[in-house]
């Protein structure tokens, strides 16, 4: 029978009912729906937004669990407020990850399911690292897991989602060595050195950003992330790329062959994996390889570990570093011109033609589009005015859009993809009059940014060591923020890139606590969010570079890449130490020196005032 229904016009409750009917047909007692695609990607194409389709929750992170008469959604602190709003009336219970008394998915399943019952999920959409603790815990209690059916993958949501978008297949293009600094052959040689050290004859790469970086190729199969749907198998003397062949021009296919890379169709990867010789040693990263592919390699000797490419691409070479500096100058010009435009519009205060959150987003995009080599935004712009700023990852929609007034804060978190690299910047903009409370919290958040950005530390420190610098001004008054302080950033790749991060908490989803290496680019973004009132976040990107080396070891420091002024009128000078004032004034002097040559006379006059000494 045809199990597909018209998903477009179904309510969330109707979608859940249809899914439960399929669960009963397949003998499934609980069905898990992650946010992932087949590659463990943070952001996914529309084809893979099954969890969003079923629950109505649009955040980038979360896991849904559907039972016969209950439904749950797990998500993290970035999305608590958003999820509470979007789940209202759906009958889906929000599970706040990390909060006291909230079990993990596997803990919940262990208590909820009885021996003989069955958990189901699409094995292509769950990484082995995510599935392993669930499989182990449930297996001990004689609870079975089903990841595929008689006719193929256990994609029950796909059977409900009749008008599901097609999988993206955008054209793939090649990034010249003048941007990458290393050729494809040089990168593959480095990976093969790591394979040799582990005596592995095969290395299968599933993470899309690693594949794009290794091959000096870019695509657009995930909006804002210039990657393409693919798997990659590396052998000592050849390599095989599994991708949608129609996305590749003849010139790129020939260029790949010149470097010993064969191009095969995307869906051939499972067949190839099953033909890898028995007991061959295969290097895999369980954080990105899905359960279906892992099981296809079950006859081999799997060497589990992080892809060598993760660290290689995180440590930018000299060419990439210099291009990233240039990208941030271009981006700084665009953002400075936007802030000048916005403040001028707000000063006019025309109620018949107000600036709204969405119109501000569009205007910022237009300023970026005027810059040379701009390609697209690097993520969906977060533009939260007033109380919307307290929703950490708020993205305005036509339904939620509100006008800006000459008072309060606009929290604007945005970024761009340029040929020279990827940017990510947050500025909390004073739209006019501010309260003393708004000023105090802005100053404390800014202090955290200044102190972290000016850190000088011995080589060997991780982001766990450094996070205190950013949080201390808030911790001293018993306040905090419920997200990490920093994440790695790719080179014309994903705006969130591992393994480097800045967070005092250890997370099983984070590849390491990673030592800060020269060439790593990391965000510096402390924040504070007062529900129902306002939000503050101050974000720059920083490049880790070497400082002096002496008898105590190699010292390191950060070079700030972002070139946009802070909001001086939001600062309480008395809360800044003399050192913090000096850091602020030095940064502002550099911003003016770097950006002013690209501005018109009025914009330049504004920037001079915006970067005045405190």
In the chain, count of helices (H) and strands (E)? Answer: 19, 30
Q: Given pLDDT bands bounded at 50, 70 and 90, which one contains residue 510?
A: low
pLDDT in tens, 581-594: 999 999 999 999 99
Q: In what order do the strands lie in the sheet with 239-243?
A: 261-265, 239-243, 230-234, 202-205, 281-284, 301-304
- What's residue 119's pLDDT? 95
* Range(s) of the domain holding residue 128: 12-160
Say if 530 falls within a structural domain: yes
Characterize the bridge pairing of strands 152-153 and 92-96: unpaired
Q: Are strands 497-502 and 486-488 parallel, antiparallel or unpaired?
A: antiparallel
| Residue in the block written with tokens 């004034």 | 585
pLDDT at 6 over 50: no
Phi then psi for residue 131, to 5 deg, are -80, -30
List the CATH number of the domain containing 373.
Answer: 3.90.230.10
| Per-residue confidence band for 149, with pLDDT thresholds at 50, 70 and 90 | low
* pLDDT attached to residue 5: 39
Range with the poorest average pLDDT among 37-46, 210-219, 521-530: 37-46
Q: Rounded to two decimals, what is the model's pTM?
A: 0.93
> Which of the four pLDDT bands, split at 50, 70 and 90, describes residue 9?
low
Looking at the fold, whether 193 and 257 belong to one and the same domain comes out as yes
Residue at 1 is within a domain: no
Do 150 and 222 have their domain in common? no
Q: What percent of the chain has pLDDT over 70?
A: 97
Q: Of 312, 345, 374, which closes a domain?
A: 312
Query: In terms of domains, do 152 and 199 share one?
Result: no
User: Is pLDDT of 509 > 80?
Assistant: no
Element (H, E) at 427: strand 425-430
Q: Is the pLDDT of residue 151 over 90?
A: no
Helix (H, G, I), strand (E, B) or coil at 201: coil
How sure is the predictor about 507, in pLDDT bands with cuts at 50, 70 and 90?
low
Q: Where residue 508 falls among pLDDT bands split at 50, 70, 90? A: low
Confidence of residue 140 (pLDDT cuts 50, 70, 90): confident
CB atoms within 10 A of CB 546: 13
pLDDT at residue 354, as a whole number: 92
The residue among 160, 190, 210 that closes a domain is: 160
The last residue of one of the domains, among 111, 131, 160, is 160
Residues 335 and 304 in one domain: no
**What percentage of residues in the chain have a pLDDT greater than 90?**
88
Per residue in 397-446, pLDDT tens? Answer: 998 999 999 999 999 999 999 999 999 999 999 999 999 999 999 999 99
pLDDT score, position 462: 95
Is 4's pLDDT higher than 50?
no
pLDDT at 1 over 50: no
Could you tell me if residue 168 is inside a domain?
Answer: no
Note whether residue 59 is domain-resident: yes
pLDDT of residue 81: 86
User: Looking at the 3D structure of the chain, how many domains does it have?
Assistant: 3
* Structure-token match 């000063």, residue found: 347
**Residue 462 — φ and ψ, nearest 5°?**
-110, 175
Please indicate, yes or no, if residue 166 is contained in any of the structural domains. no
Contacts of residue 259, Cβ cutoff 8 Å, sequence gap at least 6: 183, 184, 185, 188
User: And the tokens for 262?
Assistant: 């064969």
Mean of per-residue pLDDT scores for the chain = 94
Q: Which pLDDT band holds residue 60 (cuts at 50, 70, 90)?
A: confident
Same domain, 144 and 261: no
Contacts of 260 (CB under 8 A, 6+ apart): 188, 237, 238, 239
User: Using 50, 70 and 90 to split pLDDT, how confident is the model at 505?
Assistant: confident
Same domain, 211 and 117: no
State the pLDDT confidence band at 2, using cuts at 50, 70 and 90.
very low
Domain match, 302 and 331 both: no
Q: Which residues of 298-315 are buried (b: 16+ CB within 10 A; e: fewer)?
A: eebebeebbbbbbbbbbe
Query: Is 366 part of any domain?
Result: yes
- Judgement on whether residues 573 and 514 belong to the same structural domain of the protein: yes
pLDDT of 81-90, one tens digit each? 889 989 999 9
Question: Which tokens in the block code for residue 340?
Answer: 């000048």
In a domain, 87, yes or no: yes
69 and 120 together in one domain = yes
Task: State residue 577's pLDDT score.
Answer: 97
Please tell me the distance from the alpha carbon of residue 340 to that of residue 359, in angstroms, as a whole number.
15
Same domain, yes or no: 436 and 565: yes
Query: In this structure, what CATH number is given to the domain that contains residue 52?
Result: 3.40.350.10
In-domain check, residue 155: yes
pLDDT tens digits along 93-115 = 999 998 999 999 999 999 999 99
Query: For 550-580, how does the pLDDT look when each residue is reduced to its tens digit (9 = 90+)?
Result: 999 999 999 999 999 999 999 999 999 999 9
Mark whether 400 and 520 lie in a shared domain: yes
* pLDDT (mean) for 328-341: 98
> How far is it between the farthest Cα atoms of the chain?
76
Same domain, 273 and 306: yes
> What local confidence, expressed as pLDDT, does residue 150 receive?
64
Burial status of residue 16 (CB atoms within 10 A of its CB: 0-12, 13-18, 19 or more)? buried
């Amino acid at each position: 029978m045809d199990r597909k229904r018209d998903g477009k016009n179904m309510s969330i409750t109707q979608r859940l009912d249809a899914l439960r009917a399929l669960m009963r047909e397949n003998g499934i007692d609980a069905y898990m729906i992650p946010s992932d695609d087949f590659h463990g990607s943070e952001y996914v194409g529309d084809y893979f937004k099954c969890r969003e389709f079923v629950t109505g929750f649009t955040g980038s992170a979360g896991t849904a669990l559907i039972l016969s008469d209950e439904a749950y959604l797990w998500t993290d602190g970035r999305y608590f407020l958003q999820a509470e709003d979007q789940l209202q009336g759906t009958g889906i219970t929000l599970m706040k990850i990390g909060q006291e008394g909230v079990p993990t998915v596997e803990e919940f399943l262990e208590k909820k399911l009885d021996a003989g019952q069955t958990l189901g999920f699409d094995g292509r959409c769950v990484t082995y690292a995510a599935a392993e603790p669930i499989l182990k815990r449930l297996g001990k209690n004689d609870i079975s897991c089903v990841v595929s059916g008689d006719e193929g993958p256990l994609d029950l949501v796909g059977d409900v989602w009749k008008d599901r978008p097609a999988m993206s297949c955008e054209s793939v293009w090649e990034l010249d060595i003048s941007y990458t600094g290393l050729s494809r052959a040089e990168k593959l040689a480095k990976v093969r050195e790591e394979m040799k050290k582990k005596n592995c004859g095969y290395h299968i790469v599933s993470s899309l950003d690693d594949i794009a970086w290794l091959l000096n190729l870019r695509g657009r199969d995930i909006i804002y992330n210039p990657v393409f749907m693919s798997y990659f198998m590396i052998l000592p003397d050849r390599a095989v790329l599994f991708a949608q062949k129609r996305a590749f021009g003849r010139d790129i296919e020939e260029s790949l062959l010149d470097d010993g890379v064969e191009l095969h169709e995307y869906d051939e990867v499972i067949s190839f994996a099953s033909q890898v010789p028995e007991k061959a040693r295969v290097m895999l990263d369980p954080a990105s390889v899905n359960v279906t592919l892992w099981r296809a390699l079950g006859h081999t000797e799997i060497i589990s570990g992080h892809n060598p490419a993760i660290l290689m691409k995180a440590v930018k070479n000299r060419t990439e570093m210099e291009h990233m500096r240039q990208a941030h100058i271009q981006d700084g010009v665009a953002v400075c011109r936007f802030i000048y435009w916005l403040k001028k519009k707000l000063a006019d205060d025309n109620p018949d033609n107000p600036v709204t959150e969405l119109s501000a987003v569009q205007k910022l995009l237009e300023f970026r589009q005027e810059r040379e080599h701009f390609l697209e935004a690097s993520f969906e712009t977060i533009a939260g005015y007033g109380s919307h700023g307290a929703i950490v990852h708020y993205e305005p929609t036509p339904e939620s859009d509100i006008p800006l007034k000459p008072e309060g804060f606009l929290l604007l978190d945005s970024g761009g993809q340029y040929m020279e690299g990827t940017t990510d910047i947050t500025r909390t903009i004073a739209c006019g009059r501010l309260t003393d409370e708004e000023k105090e919290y802005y100053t404390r958040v800014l202090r955290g940014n200044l102190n972290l950005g000016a850190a000088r530390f011995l080589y060997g420190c991780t982001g766990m060591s450094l996070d205190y610098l950013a949080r201390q001004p808030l911790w001293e008054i018993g306040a905090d923020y419920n997200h990490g302080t920093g994440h790695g950033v790719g080179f014309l790749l994903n705006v969130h890139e591992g393994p480097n991060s800045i967070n005092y908490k250890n997370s099983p989803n984070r590849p390491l606590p990673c030592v800060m290496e020269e060439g790593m680019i990391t965000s510096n973004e402390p924040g504070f969010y007062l529900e129902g009132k306002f939000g503050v976040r101050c974000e720059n990107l920083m490049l880790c570079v070497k400082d002096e080396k002496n008898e105590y070891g190699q010292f390191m420091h950060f070079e700030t890449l972002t070139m946009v002024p802070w909001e001086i009128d939001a600062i309480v000078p008395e809360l800044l130490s003399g050192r913090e004032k000096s850091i602020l004034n030095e940064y502002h002097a550099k911003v003016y020196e770097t950006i002013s040559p690209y501005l018109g006379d009025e914009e330049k006059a504004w920037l001079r005032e915006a970067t005045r000494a405190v």
